[in-house]
Chains A and B, each alone.
Chain A
Amino acid sequence: MELTRNVTLGVYLPEKTWVHQLDPRSKIIFAVILITLIFFIDTYTAYAWFALFILGIQRISRVPLSFVLTGLRPMIPVLVIIWIFQFFFYEAADASTLVSFWVIEGTDAGLRMGNLIILRVLMLYLVITTLTLTTTLVNLTHGMEILIAPLRRVGVPSQELAMVMVIALRFVPTFAEELEKIIKAQMARGVAFDRGNFLRRAVSIFGAFLPLFVNAYKRGEELIVAMEARNYSGGRGRTRMKTLKMCRLDLAGAIVMLAFSLLLLILINLIPPPY
């Protein structure tokens, strides 16, 4: 039983590559551009190019693909369920039936939709892991804070939001660890998490979530006390030891991103769906 092995969110891989050295602000902007692109793509070819690009970036940043993929494992059942629903229940005017059981029919349009959604989730996951695995939490928040700072004028509490984001990300591995402990404690007293079919396992896991939530509340309280003890009073007026600076590398990154986005958009328009 080793849950923490499957956690890739909120983890940082210390390396000294170009991607790591990029300014966090540029990295966040690039990630947002890539995520926006994902929602424009609707052909397999375009997805192939996109995957190639993002995997190339991961290669440069020395993020091991096997590690990224282990983080996907817990998501597989959910993805399968989404795919099944799309395949059988997606309705389109000109869809032709591929398989049918009783009253439900799997159509070619549904198949395409299911595949595209899975690809979309996969690409989203790849983009986000590339960002978080190559950026320290401190930098990530700092960048985020600066980027959403203009929204403060219209009443958005930007610093607080950034803080919330950091806490959320930071605690993903911690909660995985905690869940592992609870699961072990229940296993030690006879709950078989590691045996039985999918449904039975799902029910067992549910029994571990309640104590996890209780612990989360306690942890939240501890965190509040720790922050109060250090005089945290919202981030307003706080200065930093290390300030962020854009450099030539960021310009190069921006050019690459722009070129890729343009190419991809042209590609999408050249080759009409379904391929």
Chain B
Amino acid sequence: MQIEVKNLDKSFGEGTPFEKQVLFQVNLKIEGGEFVGIIGPTRAGKTTLAQHFNALYVPRVGKVLVDGIDTADPKANLAQLRHKVGYVFQNPEHQLFKETVGEDVSFGPQKQGCSREEVEMRVQEALQLVGLDYHALYRRDIFALSGGQKRRVAIAGILACHPQVLVLDDITAGLDPLGRENILEVISRLHQQKKITIVLITHSMDDVARLADRTVVMDQGRVVMDGPTGEIFLRAGELKQLGLEIPQVTEILYKLHREGFQVSLDSLDLEEAVESIAGELQKTGVKDTWS
């Protein structure tokens, strides 16, 4: 399934004294099966752009085609479209609106008109996919969950709708390192096993570097870079100018490069980087002082 954005403009508060344009001439094409990271400083328009993907915003200027369907078409079946493009919101507290975990996760499939058994099955499957125990949590009060659990329930609620595209809006923010690790693992597994297209919106360069095949950089409502993740991080200077941190691995490789070591700058994987550095050290004859 393909998402195509053509010359998209978006303003908030049109016709009020507070009118403000937040997207300018955005063009973007996401193919089925891709893993795309969208990064950029706050207020870059990442969330606004992403909420066009499932027609939460409908374009007035420009076009958004999801699976060939124009979202601005008044006859388009948007409810169906929103089930195909799942959206996990920035703040899980706002997304979970039922009382118990079971009720919340079954909301989507119920709206799709699934039978009771089907709903039950999907809830089980979704909770299992995000690594939560169905029996222990089914009747649990949403408010009694931890932050990491809430996010997983939020993802499960979307997965139960059987989406083909999953848009994840800053889901690792505010989690401790372990919670973050778990969530990223879940996403990576979904992409590999279920072949779900993933759009990951985040501030964390490390997350994008680790998972995304392709990276889109946004700034002030515009797409400023778009390409394979490795190539994007080669433009470290530009990224820093935008106020973005480059991944730690890249940072170290850059520093070594500046000191005259011939390490490969585009390795994003930690192991790869270590090998590259080790190889370079052997070549230059620097002895390992600890061995």
Contacts and interface: CB of A to CB of B under 8 A. Distances in A.
Contact of A67 (B15, B111, B157): B15
B14 A5 contact: yes
Nearest to A186: B97
Interface of A: 1-2, 4-5, 13, 64, 66-67, 70, 178, 181-182, 184-192, 194-195, 208, 210-211
Given A1-B56, A182-B94, A184-B89, A190 B13 contact: no
Contact of B157 (A1, A66, A181, A189): A189
Contacts of B82: 187-190
B56 A189 contact: no
A186 B98 CA distance: 10
28 contacts: A1-B56, A1-B57, A2-B57, A5-B16, A64-B16, A64-B17, A66-B16, A67-B16, A70-B16, A181-B89, A181-B94, A182-B94, A185-B89, A185-B96, A186-B97, A186-B107, A187-B56, A188-B56, A189-B157, A189-B161, A190-B82, A190-B83, A191-B79, A192-B78, A192-B79, A194-B78, A195-B79, A208-B97
A195 B56 contact: no
Interface string B69-106: 00000000011001100110101001111000000000
**Nearest 10 A/B pairs, CB to CB:** A190-B111, A211-B97, A189-B108, A181-B94, A185-B95, A188-B87, A192-B79, A67-B16, A190-B79, A184-B56
A208 B95 CA distance: 11
A228 B282 CA distance: 64
Given A188-B56, A189-B161, A190-B108, A70 B15 contact: yes
Contacts of A67: 15-17
Given A67-B15, A195-B78, A178 B56 contact: no
Contacts of A185: 89, 94-97
Given A189-B158, A191-B111, A5 B12 contact: yes
A218 B107 CA distance: 23
Contacts of A70: 15-16
A161 B87 CA distance: 42
A185 B108 CA distance: 11
Contact of A5 (B13, B108, B158): B13
Interface of B: 12-17, 51, 54, 56-57, 78-79, 82-83, 86-87, 89, 91, 94-97, 107-108, 111-112, 157-158, 161
Contacts of B15: 5, 66-67, 70
A4 B82 CA distance: 22
Contacts of B91: 181
A195 B111 CA distance: 14
A188 B79 CA distance: 8
Contacts of A1: 56-57
A31 to B, nearest CB: 21
Contacts of B83: 189-190
A182 B56 CA distance: 12
A242 to B, nearest CB: 25
A191 B78 CA distance: 10
Given A187-B56, A191-B79, 18 more contacts: A1-B57, A2-B12, A2-B57, A5-B13, A5-B15, A64-B17, A70-B15, A181-B91, A186-B107, A187-B82, A188-B54, A188-B95, A190-B161, A191-B111, A192-B78, A192-B79, A195-B79, A210-B97
Contacts of B111: 189-191
Nearest to B14: A5
Contacts of A187: 56, 82
A184 B51 contact: yes
B255 to A, nearest CB: 42
B43 to A, nearest CB: 16
B99 to A, nearest CB: 9
B107 A189 contact: yes
A17 B192 CA distance: 62
Nearest to A189: B108
A70 B107 CA distance: 33
A210 B107 CA distance: 15
Nearest to A184: B56
A188 B54 CA distance: 7
Nearest to B94: A181
Nearest to B89: A185
Contacts of A178: 94
B22 to A, nearest CB: 12
Nearest to B111: A190
Contacts of B57: 1-2
B97 A188 contact: no
Nearest to B110: A190
Contact of A182 (B54, B97, B112): B97
Nearest to A14: B17
A89 B33 CA distance: 62
A5 B18 CA distance: 9
Contacts of B14: 5
B290 to A, nearest CB: 52
Nearest to A190: B111
A194 B58 CA distance: 11
B15 to A, nearest CB: 5
